[in-house]
Amino acid sequence: MFGKRITLFRLFGFAVRVDASWFIIVALITWTLSSGIFQSRYPGLSEGDYWIMGVSGALVLFASVIVHELFHSLVARRYGLPMKGITLFIFGGVAEMEDEPPSAKAEFLMAIAGPAASLLIGSIFYVIYQGITALWPVQIVGVVAYLYWINWVLAAFNLIPAFPLDGGRVLRSILWWRWKGDLPRATRTAASIGSGFGVALIAFGLVRLFVGDFVGAVWWFLIGMFLRGASQTSYQQVLMGTVLSGKPIEKFMKSDPVTVSPNLPVIRLVEEYIYKYHHKMFPVVTDYGDLLGCVTTNEVKNLAREEWALRTVQEILHPCTEENTILPESDAQQTFLRMTRTGISRLMVVKEKRLSGIVTLKDLVGFLSTKMNLEG
């Protein structure tokens, strides 16, 4: 979902990050507020006033989004659910979970916490607005009025029962409880509604395009595409967890992986292995079967081209660590989550310092696809 991210600070132990795409939406909202909304509602102010109001409104809006996601995260931590942090990106913010909630009750409370936070923030700004309307400058009053209104809108939008919006998670929790713990079925139903809602937003975007609202059309289309994709991905992840949970990773590994010798010149590694097999990582094994580590395309890429014929794999290999190895008895679901979390898609399966096989994210996803095709 995310590209390059910048960590801003930590809040109650959670890392708050911004994705590079976030700057696009900040700029767009600032421009919309300063040159559109505030100018039409409060005419007669200077250009500088409008831009200050626009910047202030955009920044406080995203501060409100952080609080919204913080409420999700605090409830999740209360139920022992590991959280990777809070990330702001082009479509708002997300509290990144490392796993599914442990129960329907935890899901419900965690999901409802975000909209509750937005309602609370909007109400606070509304009380402030009522108290300062006749006393404070119109520039401040206008920003506060926007903030109470937009937080209420965010709460209402998030309560739409379309997964993975908060309302969709509330719906999933109710179905999860009603169907006595059948999380895949509950997720499938909620995700289907979410996907349908995404299609509806895409259609609305096309309607806006035909009436001449090009910018609005693009944003409705993108939001619809995002929701549709996110709902389908969420269901696939839940299904993957259900299929893999409790199974050892050795069941899914390739027991005869392609390995390379530590004495192999890097130029031959590239021409005879990387270009032939298209793998990003190869285990490095001696003639006696000892596993030394692995070599990846990153190590080759960081080596000057003229050095390829002069250096061997031994000189650039990455030794075995907890980052690139896993035990045969490790849980397949946790391995899948680890791969998606770290971005490392190939792991060496090691037993007693000997290579047992290779497990890849592609193989795990392929297994799920095959199972779905056979069993529905």
Whole-angstrom Cα distance, residue 236 to residue 340? 13
| 193-209 burial: b if 16+ Cβ within 10 Å, else e | bbbebbeebbebbeebe
Tell me what pLDDT residue 234 has.
Answer: 82
> Do 238 and 119 lie in a common domain?
yes
Sign of CA dihedral 79, 81, 82, 83: negative
Give phi and psi for 133, each to the nearest 5.
-55, -45
Tell me what pLDDT residue 1 has.
Answer: 53
> Do 26 and 170 lie in a common domain?
yes
Residue ranges making up the domain that contains 141? 5-244
Tell me what pLDDT residue 2 has.
Answer: 55
> Do 304 and 181 lie in a common domain?
no
Average pLDDT per 10 consecutive residues for the chain, totaling 376 residues: 76 89 88 90 92 94 94 93 85 80 92 96 96 90 95 94 92 93 88 93 92 84 89 81 85 92 96 94 92 94 93 94 92 86 88 92 84 69
SS3 for the chain is: CCCCEEEEEEECCEEEEEECCHHHHHHHHHHHHHHHHHHHHCCCCCHHHHHHHHHHHHHHHHHHHHHHHHHHHHHHHHCCCCEEEEEEECCEEEEEECCCCCCHHHHHHHHHHHHHHHHHHHHHHHHHHHHHCCCCCHHHHHHHHHHHHHHHHHHHHHCCCCCCCHHHHHHHHHHHHHCCCCHHHHHHHHHHHHHHHHHHHHHHHHHHHHCCCHHHHHHHHHHHHHHHHHHHHHHHHHHHHHHHCCCEHHHCCECCCCCECCCCEHHHHHHHHHHHHCCCEEEEECCCCCEEEEEEHHHHHCCCHHHCCCCEHHHHCEECCCCCEECCCCEHHHHHHHHHHHCCCEEEEEECCEEEEEEEHHHHHHHHHHHHHHHC
With contact defined as beta carbons under 8 Å apart, do 175 and 189 qualify? yes
Going by C-alpha positions, the residue among 88, 84, 85, 17 that lies closest to residue 58 is 88
> Do 211 and 91 lie in a common domain?
yes
Tell me what pLDDT residue 88 has.
Answer: 86
> Do 269 and 222 lie in a common domain?
no
> Do 259 and 198 lie in a common domain?
no
Tell me what pLDDT residue 28 has.
Answer: 87
Tell me what pLDDT residue 83 has.
Answer: 85
Instruction: Report the CATH number that the domain containing residue 298 is assigned in CATH.
Output: 3.10.580.10
> Do 276 and 329 lie in a common domain?
yes
> Do 217 and 300 lie in a common domain?
no
From the centroid of its chain, how far is CA 235?
A: 14
Provide the β-strand partners of residue 357: 349
> Do 188 and 315 lie in a common domain?
no
Last residue of a domain, one of 244, 279, 298: 244
From the centroid of its chain, how far is CA 226?
A: 11
Last residue of a domain, one of 244, 270, 298: 244
Work out how many domains the chain is built from and give that number. Answer: 2
Whole-angstrom Cα distance, residue 235 to residue 226? 14
Going by C-alpha positions, the residue among 353, 345, 282 that lies closest to residue 321 is 353
> Do 190 and 135 lie in a common domain?
yes
> Do 219 and 307 lie in a common domain?
no
Whole-angstrom Cα distance, residue 288 to residue 297? 25
> Do 210 and 279 lie in a common domain?
no
- The separation between the first and the last C-alpha atoms of the chain, rounded to the nearest angstrom, is 27
With contact defined as beta carbons under 8 Å apart, do 170 and 159 qualify? yes
Last residue of a domain, one of 205, 223, 244: 244
